[in-house]
Structure 1
């Protein structure tokens, strides 16, 4: 047995060589031990990695930056529009990064491709990051962006986010479900919805099976949650942990896409079941043999490309008022 296979453990043969090449590239840019560095150092490394993986924007997509005025602050946003077409829907997009990383640049190409693939406008939200801004700062910015888009865009809205952004999208959907212009759909991509982590009797599924998966472990998730949390933060606060809500009725049609080899995957399954149990529409799909953050692998890993195509199709269907499943 080689040293490499010992390090990769049970995932050595479980994951495709092309996916391992992606994982190795991510780890070369952003190694696991970086969590021990100060947050500003982590951000600098993450931003360099994001630039290295950036695929450019489709030529038909134009982007413009702006600010949403909110009490005591301005929220930077970037709006993507496909030239030569009139959008019928706007996608409000919340980026990933564990609530401490990322911004308008880190997910620029993903948002641009989502715009190109659906024909919808995409509004990317640069919400405030921890630890400078603890919860509920990011949530407050996400709600403010939704309310701005609902009033100012004049378009139906679809909420979309990945990882930490999936948490925000779900929390916004729950908080605004009775808004006069509530979202007509939401698409959550490997979201952290506040499922169980370390200890407790409710840990199950991916939290156990994939607690040490490549690119995201339970330890990583716990670190990000701790950095985001204010003192005496309640884990039962649905704006912090959407799965801890007590009412899942009235939510928009929901599509959740997760990765099999990701400790967060069971969050998506549970969220689907809660919505279905409350009489809503929800569909959960676990992409086999993929890992957290697979969106960045969409140009080099065929399975990730297929998953991204399904995500774009789901956003497109929901934005047209159709149920894709």
Structure 2
């Protein structure tokens, strides 16, 4: 039997243990309501107070899409950040990534908008994508630059709407930050094999989330790695986790962007697992990775 790949950093191992106390490794076998209840409890366990002076306001875009706006006490730029949460297109909400969004807004000195897009299986492709696209268009219509950010499934949605913006000639995206994104790799080679049983996310889990999302194979904006042309996209910051079946999606997309002439800042967190953003107060590697993400977003927002 092949030995399960595991990092050696104590902090990330403690994080993984704490996660599994809330969200079992076989969570995808449970019904959707149970998965969401477990995920909500997990997120609450890693919650943190917002930075001093941070103002939050909930509202709707297009009369139906819930968003949350974050304004730091002392903004330094007119650029807005648009954050799209992860969760396999199945779990997650405005609450699940609330602290992460607040800290990113503070670090960048920029207002941030997060989205509560429709989830599968109640709303399959292209519902989540359409919601994210509608919010992006609304932000761009306000004639202020936008940095699009997403983690995991949110990284997929972020990359997809940035591709569509280029395809439709929309201007104003100052950058994209993709955090351990799932971008449409083949599931049968590279990290999908080497890290098939990695802690926090397995290749079987990835296949489950893709299946429940229901995007057809020809939907290039759902599988950004399959896009034939990547030239003309905005600058990118891409960070992957070594112990993650999605690792090679991040590597491959960063390489293809660079070969297409797109400015790319790529990091791979060598001791990290999927979802390491939540470990930023438990793990030195996650703390360093989050600091690099914040610095990259700040650079893109303040150009």
Measured after TM superposition, the shift of residue 277 of structure 1 is: 2.3
Measured after TM superposition, the shift of residue 18 of structure 1 is: 1.6
Q: Judge conservation of contact 2:10–2:283 (CA < 8 Å) in 1.
A: no
Alignment partners' CA distance in 2, 1:148 and 1:320? 21
Alignment partners' CA distance in 1, 2:121 and 2:292? 34
Structure 1 residues 223-234: aligned runs within 5 Å: 223-229=208-214, 233-234=215-216
User: Higher RCO, 1 or 2 (CA under 8 Å, sep at least 6)?
Assistant: 2
- How many pairs align? 302
Choose which of 206, 211, 218 in structure 1 pairs with 2:203: 218
Alignment partners' CA distance in 1, 2:170 and 2:211? 34
CA deviations on 1:44-91 (whole Å, 9 max, x unpaired) are: 111111111101211221110010016xxx100001001243542101
Choose which of 156, 159, 163 in structure 1 pairs with 2:152: 163
Residues 1:272 and 2:257 aligned together: no
1:181 is matched with which residue?
171
CA-based RMSD: 1.6
Residues 1:254 and 2:236 aligned together: yes
TM-score (norm 1): 0.89
Return closer, same or farther for 1:10/1:245 CA change in 2, 3 Å cut-off.
closer
Q: Which has the larger radius of gyration?
A: 1
Return closer, same or farther for 1:64/1:121 CA change in 2, 3 Å cut-off.
same
Q: Judge conservation of contact 1:159–1:183 (CA < 8 Å) in 2.
A: yes
CA deviations on 1:86-105 (whole Å, 9 max, x unpaired) are: 54210110000000000100
Residues 1:133 and 2:123 aligned together: yes
- Matched position secondary structure for 2:26: helix
Alignment partners' CA distance in 2, 1:8 and 1:57? 40
Q: Judge conservation of contact 1:236–1:245 (CA < 8 Å) in 2.
A: no
Alignment partners' CA distance in 1, 2:300 and 2:76? 17
CA deviations on 1:256-303 (whole Å, 9 max, x unpaired) are: 001111110110111112212222222321111110000000011111
Q: Judge conservation of contact 2:46–2:278 (CA < 8 Å) in 1.
A: yes
Alignment partners' CA distance in 2, 1:98 and 1:7? 26
2:9 is matched with which residue?
16
CA deviations on 1:10-34 (whole Å, 9 max, x unpaired) are: 42xx321221111000001000122
Q: Judge conservation of contact 1:95–1:161 (CA < 8 Å) in 2.
A: yes
Return closer, same or farther for 1:38/1:318 CA change in 2, 3 Å cut-off.
same
Q: Judge conservation of contact 2:147–2:175 (CA < 8 Å) in 1.
A: yes
TM-score (norm 2): 0.96
Residues 1:115 and 2:105 aligned together: yes
Unaligned 5+ runs, structure 2: none
Choose which of 14, 24, 33 in structure 2 pairs with 1:31: 24
Q: Judge conservation of contact 1:237–1:244 (CA < 8 Å) in 2.
A: no
Alignment partners' CA distance in 2, 1:10 and 1:216? 12
